[in-house]
A = this chain, B = another copy of it.
């Protein structure tokens, strides 16, 4: 069994959303396992001294154009949400709560549903009532998931997950690691695929 593809993501990252729509097929083509790791880009930005792309002078305006064009290039539905960016702390905690249940299919549904809610339908998943709706639509017990999100142990679990990601060098999203090799950005999927197809290059 080859090593898993580790996929670090933040629900507020447009490029991680674009990668999320391509990663399942890629993983299946190469018979690897996919391990999803929620991170908080705000924490990574504090370490690296960066800020959200759209807030960078000059680059910000370009980035909004690039999100949409890159989505069209890949044939992926996308509509720039407002507000942007949003806090994804609650959505990430909900991911960890679902992960603990061991229901892999539910977790996978939620991963895609939360991304699409925000980046296709413009639903602000930082709003607990909207996040609850998304959870219900996935078949998750929204009330108990959100209750678990408020528990100190869930908060601590996300903090540890973020610290572990930073310790591995994760500074953005999507950030993928396979066989110890890091790939940052949806535009590195071709290099990741080559790595999986024919090994290190």
User: Considering only CB atoms, which chain B residue lies closest to A70 in the complex?
Assistant: B191
Q: Which of A17-25, A41-49, A123-131 contacts B (4 or more CB under 8 A)?
A: A41-49
- Given contacts A49-B57, A187-B187, whether A201 and B72 have CB atoms under 8 Å apart is yes
Task: For chain A, residues 107 to 143, give those with C-beta under 8 angstroms from any C-beta of chain B.
Answer: none
- Given contacts A47-B58, A57-B49, whether A69 and B191 have CB atoms under 8 Å apart is yes
SS class, residues of chain A in contact with chain B: helix
- Given contacts A73-B194, A187-B187, A194-B73, whether A58 and B171 have CB atoms under 8 Å apart is yes
> In whole angstroms, how far apart are the Cα atoms of A92 and B171 in the complex?
32
> In whole angstroms, how far apart are the Cα atoms of A97 and B187 in the complex?
36
User: How far apart are A129's CB and chain B's nearest CB, in angstroms?
Assistant: 35
> In whole angstroms, how far apart are the Cα atoms of A201 and B59 in the complex?
21
Instruction: State which of B66, B73, B172, B182 has its C-beta within 8 Å of the C-beta of A65.
Output: B182
Taking the complex as formed, is A11 at the interface, i.e. its CB lies under 8 A from any CB of chain B?
A: no
The count of chain A contact residues (Cβ–Cβ below 8 Å) is 31
**Across-interface contacts of A191 in B (CB, < 8 A):** 69-70, 73
> In whole angstroms, how far apart are the Cα atoms of A56 and B170 in the complex?
12
Q: A62-B184, A73-B201 given; name 5 further pairs at CB < 8 Å.
A: A44-B58, A50-B56, A57-B171, A61-B169, A73-B191
Taking the complex as formed, is A166 at the interface, i.e. its CB lies under 8 A from any CB of chain B?
A: yes
User: Considering only CB atoms, which chain B residue lies closest to A187 in the complex?
Assistant: B187
Instruction: State which of B49, B59, B72, B171 has its C-beta within 8 Å of the C-beta of A62.
Output: B171
Is the beta-carbon distance between B62 and A57 smaller than 8 angstroms? no
Instruction: State which of B48, B56, B59, B194 has its C-beta within 8 Å of the C-beta of A57.
Output: B48
